[in-house]
Amino acid sequence: MPAENLGRVAVRDWIAELLLAEDFSLSRTPLAGSKEWSLQNGVIRHRTGRFFSVVGIRAIQHNGSAIEQPLLDQREIGTLALIVRRSAHAMEVLVQAKAEPGNVGIFQLAPSFQATASNTAQAHGGEPPPMAEWFADIRRGTLVADSLQSEQGTRFLGKRNRNCTLHVSGDVVHGLYHSWLPARDLCALLGQDYLLNTDLRSTLLCSDWDSLAMGKPFSGAGFAEKLLLSNRLVEDRAWEPLQGVLEELRRPAPWRSAPEMVSLGRLRGWRLTADGMEPETGRPFDVCHVQVRSLSREVKMWEQPIVQSAGCGNILLPMGYWNDAPHFLFQTVAEPGFGSRMELTPAITVEPGDMKDSGEFGDSLAKDGRVLISCLQSEEGGRFLFDENWYVIADVGPVMEPPQGYHWLSLAQIRELLRRGECFTNEARSALSLLLTWL
């Protein structure tokens, strides 16, 4: 029977029940033996030409160093959507318990509707994604949030998702894998490991916080009061005007030679294998081929390429005080999958499998910070195999003058950039979502 309404303490029990009924399996299988996927003209692609492809990318940075690597080419726009309703005492969110091959724990909480354009069009020959009918005719509700947001620019080429929230009234028919959860109860779970997937974190962050909190965001005591001050901070009392940040984001990305597609077989430092692609030395991930069985999905068995990273990433978002209001420190980054754009990412961002040094400035932030909240999160489970990041927000005391390319932003400024879309990396949105624990 479907779980009609849940409190936060019952979520783990609900997922445990679904796991008992789920016949899930995942195994590596040779790409060379696949009837669905193949290497064609230097690209790994599906026989239909839909879903996504694995392509080679080469770019030259201003310092002359080259970036050469595989990327997942999935430039169709997916939809990540929350369905929300107002009950007598709370705003409620319809969440989905979704099984993905790369999820730690198999099932994680996901948005009400989460689908690529290929899945929505049923290119796989299976059933339509659950709740798809609600977004075939958006007039069924009131759209209260709608923005385009990027995915990981070090793994995806030009991938964007529409993050939206649909306010409805009355009954919404749903099945076994959906349940209503009070918005504040859902947000209280954001600090738990491996429970909310990255897409639910992003849609919650990009939603209307005032609506989720029924007009009273950050109304608790203690740190919530500080966040409320930051959320209301007028522009001229913030550390720096938003205009300067926007101007930096609009500048061309610092490439001497912009990212261009090359044959996978011509990527220096990589080699084609029977499974996919693997690095010759010291690279952060490989691309393998897997076969998946999941009774809860629209297609019960399929195969696909998937990215597997070499280790856990570390994402630290520093928080400092300016005019008594919390500000959060980001750096601008150019990633090959963003093309000519730049985005903001947490001040210390070491992605899964990447062994780079965070630098003297980053080391001082990490050393002096007091952890406010943290969690372990497996990233996009539909495309990454057990990729993990450790997300941390740390109090570093008073705001300090940062190096060029770093910016302290208040919550009010962050909300403005979220509404504009494509200003924050996927890692930045996941880190920022932890603040909604105090919503």
Which pLDDT belongs to residue 72? 97
Which pLDDT belongs to residue 119? 62
d(CA 313, CA 283): 14
Contacts of 324 (CB under 8 A, 6+ apart): 226, 229
CA distances (Å), origin 86, targets 112, 141, 163, 433: 16, 12, 20, 22
297-313 as b/e: b if 16+ CB within 10 A: bbeeebbbbbbbbeebb
d(CA 96, CA 83): 10
The alpha carbons of the chain give a radius of gyration, in whole angstroms, of 21
d(CA 343, CA 350): 16
Task: State CA 124 to chain mean position distance.
Answer: 24
Please tell me the least confidently modeled range out of 128-132, 220-224, 421-425.
128-132
Q: Is 54 helix (H, G, I), strand (E, B) or coil?
A: strand
pTM attached to this predicted model? 0.93
d(CA 418, CA 164): 12
pLDDT tens column, 14-42: 999 999 999 899 999 999 999 999 999 99
Strand pairing partners for 384? 307
Strand pairing partners for 388? 378
Average model confidence (pLDDT) across the chain: 91
Give the pLDDT mean for 293-298.
Answer: 90
- Cβ contact 171:143 at 8 Å: no
d(CA 377, CA 375): 6
pLDDT tens column, 210-259: 999 999 999 999 999 999 999 999 888 999 999 999 999 999 888 988 88
* Residue keyed to tokens 């093309």: 339
d(CA 204, CA 433): 7
Q: What tokens does 281 get? A: 């030395």
Angle separating helix axes 223-231 and 411-420, nearest 10 degrees = 60
Task: State CA 338 to chain mean position distance.
Answer: 15
What domains lie within the chain, and their CATH numbers? 223-255+310-438 (3.90.79.40)
Q: Is 236 helix (H, G, I), strand (E, B) or coil?
A: helix
- Cβ contact 408:228 at 8 Å: no
pLDDT > 90? residue 55: yes
pLDDT > 90? residue 3: no
Which pLDDT belongs to residue 4? 60
What percentage of the chain carries pLDDT values higher than 90?
75
What percentage of the chain carries pLDDT values higher than 70?
92
Q: Is 299 helix (H, G, I), strand (E, B) or coil?
A: coil
Which pLDDT belongs to residue 332? 97
Q: What tokens does 247 get? A: 């101007």
pLDDT > 50? residue 1: no
- Cβ contact 271:280 at 8 Å: yes
| Amino acid (one-letter) located at 243 | Q
pLDDT > 90? residue 145: yes
More confident residue, 14 or 134: 14
Find the angle CA(153)-CA(158)-CA(159) to the nearest 5 degrees: 85
Please tell me the least confidently modeled range out of 200-204, 366-370, 377-381.
366-370
How would residue 121 be classed by pLDDT, with cut points 50, 70 and 90?
A: low
Write a three-state SS string for 160-191: EEEEEEEEECCCCCCCCCEEEEEHHHHHCCCC
Contacts of 216 (CB under 8 A, 6+ apart): none
Angle separating helix axes 198-206 and 426-433, nearest 10 degrees = 80
- Cβ contact 211:439 at 8 Å: no
pLDDT > 70? residue 156: yes
CA distances (Å), origin 44, targets 27, 260, 287, 304: 19, 16, 10, 10
